A and B are shown apart, each in its own frame.
Chain A
Amino acid sequence: MQTEQLPSQIKAVWTYSALISGGVGLLISVALWLTHVYLNWWFWLPLAAVGLSLLDVIVELAVIPYRYAFSRYRITETAVYVRTGVFFKHEIAVPINRIQNVTLAAGPLLQFKQLREVAVDTAATRYSINGVTVPVAERLRDQILQLAREARDDA
């Protein structure tokens, strides 16, 4: 049986988020440049900041196709599976009867692309599926809650 891939819009969300984090890095660099000009702080600080932010953006953008290819999820009658990671691969399995609650969330970027993040909580930890389309998210939530109701056991 096949695992499901995230919707392709998620790549756009990751691109924007990489660009935004790069922008924040550049703003910090500008602030550091100003400290150099007015407060006589070290000259290499803003340069290092620019370098690091550019490197961050390049790596994040370069990794997107791989991240997209390796991020998978699947929900069966009894369990939720999440797979993530490019260099460090994580395979997570959560039986439905261990799930305590389900949260659908969307930040501005996800909302813009009509996507939702699905988070499931167990008594111990929280796992999330990065971004799925709204109908899929709601179907998943209903499915998990329905199954959790049926498979209820003591926590």
Chain B
Amino acid sequence: MTHKHLAWPALFVFVARAVRQLVSLVLVILVFFSWRSLTGEAAFWGFLAAGVVVVATIVAAVIRYVRFTYAVTPAGITINRGLFERKVVHIPYAKIQTVQRQQWFFLRPFGLERLTIETAGKTDDEPEGELPVVPVTVGQQIDRYRRAPTNPTVATDQPTTTTARPGERQFQINRHDLRLYALTSMGIVPILLAFFWLYDKLTTIFSDEVVDDALKHLNVIQIGWQIALMVAVLVLSLLTSYLTIIQRYYRFTLTKKRSTLTMARGYFQRSRVSVDQQRIQAVHFKQTLIRQWARLVTAQVLTADQAGKSESDHNLVLLPVLRRSAMVPTVSGFIDWLPDRLPTIKRVRSAARWLFIRNCVLVWLGALLVAGGFIWWQLPKGLPIYLASWLLWLPLAVAQGNYAARQTGVALATPAVVCVQHGAWFSREQYLIPRRCVQSLEINQSVWMARRDLVHLTLEVRAGNDNKSVEARFIDSKTARQIRDWYLPQDAPEYQTA
């Protein structure tokens, strides 16, 4: 087997990473220098030392590049790397959870891309295998080996049901839905926060006099202009958020080839993630309030690796936008264990609904009281207005609790898949979890809930390098016990509640 080096642009990647590590050090040194007035001689030695550090870093990055080799063999992927401590990583194909291939537009003419290989290993925050810049043929080779039926370990891992439907299946989201999705996204909130943060930074960096001066100028400007400025900021944020999402999910295509699902997306950076459908731990459907009005759903999958770390919920996006009516039929065409339609979920009892509302109101009251104390302390004049606004907040709390109660429930979708649903902050979330992926089950009950015969049911699922607790709160204890009986191995003697 031959060990290959990365493609030459990888050198820039290593240098860039090393420089990024240096930036904080350089900043500290600069602050130190600006704080103390230095003599010419000291400054000379200081800059010389800084130069030596920079050169050493670049040399280290070059050595890192030279030492980095990889080999793709029928047995697995081997990566040799490390500057002082030499590391050799072996990844057998049977243990790969996901492979990500990311290609920036400027690397497209060269046929180069970044490859990351994830396993279920929990030890590190980094991907288990990363090839920063390699020819696309490497990724194709790995895909071939992963699918190879001759590989005995792969063959035993896959149940025969997956081969029942051979051939390829593809789904591309249409432009209209993507536009609607981008418009209904909440992406504007972080961007507005970023603006406020920037404003805050500006006021701390510049002295008060400068800010006062600027504010005086602002006062001179007509009120109309101020409003225009605010509108411009708002429109700019909306546009940025809109374009970011369009760019991110540009031509999102989900492909199924035998048992492997591939999600491809992105305009500037085309990213392809591939995962075997048997490795999917759960499917997650999510609808925010606005998207419930637009009848759009996002479908995500939970996997046992970090491939979805950069996504919003740390889950891999299966399909960013889908019509609610087409949701289950579309996704079940790609994931064999998914049912063709969702089960009807029995709503919680009215006693439970009251508990949802009570808890929600209590949480809101707590937050309102803390905010009230703060206002009383800082801005006593604003207190009456603030108290009047409770007329708005408290009905909202009741509505939120009521919404959560209406969404909560659990039911079996098929004999092998459970469906858990809940609502938080007016967004509806549904989880479909195969029995084999439920790692453990908890039934929790406080002594006060015992009177009403209600329990919380929690299913623990592996997601990323951690666990995801999927919970249905205040459900009937009978329903919860039915789910537990379904979950526990058939030959288990009944577990008695003493």
Residues of A within 8 A of B (CB): 1-3, 72, 74, 76-79, 81, 85, 87-98, 122-125, 127, 153-155
Contact = CB atoms under 8 A, between A and B. Distances in A.
A90 B442 contact: yes
Contacts of B442: 90-93
Nearest to A127: B440
Contacts of B445: 88-89, 91
A123 B492 contact: no
Contacts of A123: 120, 304, 439, 462
Most chain A beta carbons < 10 A, residue from B120, B442, B484: B442
Nearest to A1: B493
Contacts of A124: 439-440, 460-463, 466-468
Contact of A122 (B120, B439, B468, B491): B439
B440 A92 contact: yes
6 contacts: A78-B488, A78-B491, A91-B444, A93-B495, A95-B489, A96-B489
A96 B468 CA distance: 20
Interface string B445-462: 111000000000000111
Interface string B484-498: 100111011111111
B492 A79 contact: yes
Interface of B: 120, 157, 278, 304, 436, 438-447, 460-463, 466-468, 484, 487-489, 491-498
A81 B441 CA distance: 10
B495 A81 contact: yes
A79 B488 contact: yes
Nearest to B159: A154
Nearest to A93: B441
Contacts of A2: 496, 498
A155 B122 CA distance: 13
B496 A1 contact: yes
B109 to A, nearest CB: 41
B488 A125 contact: no
B460 A122 contact: yes
B484 A93 contact: yes
Contacts of B438: 98
A35 B498 CA distance: 52
A110 B395 CA distance: 52
Contacts of A96: 489
A90 B439 CA distance: 16
A118 to B, nearest CB: 15
A125 B467 contact: yes
Nearest to A120: B440
A92 B445 CA distance: 12
A78 B498 contact: no
A72 B352 CA distance: 28
A144 B447 CA distance: 32
B440 A125 contact: yes
Contact of B446 (A74, A78, A89, A153): A89
Given A94-B440, A123-B304, 13 more contacts: A74-B495, A90-B443, A91-B442, A92-B440, A95-B440, A98-B440, A122-B439, A122-B460, A124-B440, A124-B463, A125-B440, A155-B120, A155-B304
Contacts of B468: 124
Contact of B447 (A87, A93, A94): A87
Contacts of A76: 492-493
Contacts of B463: 124
B95 to A, nearest CB: 10
Contacts of A92: 440-442
A95 B462 contact: no
